[in-house]
Chains A and B, each alone.
Chain A
């Protein structure tokens, strides 16, 4: 078979025609009634739902910013050599009162 390494124009035309000329089913009134009955069963779009939807959209819009912020913070913490456990112990040891308190509990 001749290689198809490059787009074959004739094949492309035939595939495009087959794609465009796909048969379309005709829908009847029953279909329309089914759709409307489904929509009626959902009830009116309440303002609560509306605000929730708008909030949801905003949340998704903010996602890239949030991810970027997390990456920046992570990079900053790595650069500052911040290790939470180590910092916590250091905090207790530096403070004699807290240190005694920690000793009492055998921690």
Chain B
């Protein structure tokens, strides 16, 4: 409900959109585009973020009737964003044809330095961060879409099993089992 100010609540806008006022959806788009981009950029490649965020809003619009005011609109939209990213990887995984390249020598060396854990060695420079990013992308590309998503949410974002399960629409047990397996796969890939 509106709190007397000119800014309507999310639930109120949702009701207006469902009532046929399509243009009201633009307020939700303006309000949450940064949040959606923030979620999407973590899960899909840089050049696919815009397109995927576009898909998230279209999917959210079509799913508006299923929005229940029990949770916040932001939370509901995050769920849609995560599931759209998951679908992105599922689609990409199905159409994958090219055999994947092995890890470059420079990444091997960098990984060895990190793992050897020599005292006084710093990895905070830009080059090190770039290598970590490339290594992470390389490893994640070798995982199945499900393993990838669960690893990103639980291992890299630090979400609990329950939170990840809610976002992915899986059971908590499934998230826990897959998370363990995915972590083992990641370790094997980097070993």
A residues adjacent to B (C-beta < 8 A): 1-5, 7-8, 10-12, 14-25, 27, 31-32, 34-36, 38-40, 42-45, 49-50, 53-54, 57
Contact = CB atoms under 8 A, between A and B. Distances in A.
A36 B172 CA distance: 36
A11 B115 contact: yes
Interface stretch (B2-10, B24-32, B91-99): B24-32
29 contacts: A1-B116, A2-B115, A3-B191, A4-B115, A8-B114, A8-B115, A8-B117, A10-B114, A12-B155, A14-B114, A14-B132, A15-B132, A15-B136, A19-B133, A19-B157, A20-B156, A22-B42, A23-B41, A25-B49, A27-B37, A35-B58, A36-B23, A36-B25, A36-B29, A39-B25, A40-B22, A43-B22, A45-B17, A49-B65
A40 to B, nearest CB: 6
Interface string B93-129: 0000000000000001001101111000001000011
Contacts of B128: 14
B133 A24 contact: no
A77 to B, nearest CB: 30
Nearest to A56: B66
B114 A39 contact: no
Nearest to B40: A24
Nearest to A13: B123
A38 B115 CA distance: 49
Interface of B: 17-18, 20, 22-23, 25-26, 29-30, 33, 37-38, 41-42, 46, 49-50, 53-54, 57-58, 61-66, 108, 111-112, 114-117, 123, 128-129, 132-133, 135-136, 152, 155-158, 183, 187, 190-191
B54 A35 contact: yes
Contact of A21 (B17, B108, B129): B129
Given A14-B132, A15-B156, A22-B41, A4 B25 contact: no
Given A15-B156, A24-B41, A45-B64, A4 B54 contact: no
Contacts of B54: 31, 34-35, 38
Given A15-B132, A15-B135, A25 B115 contact: no
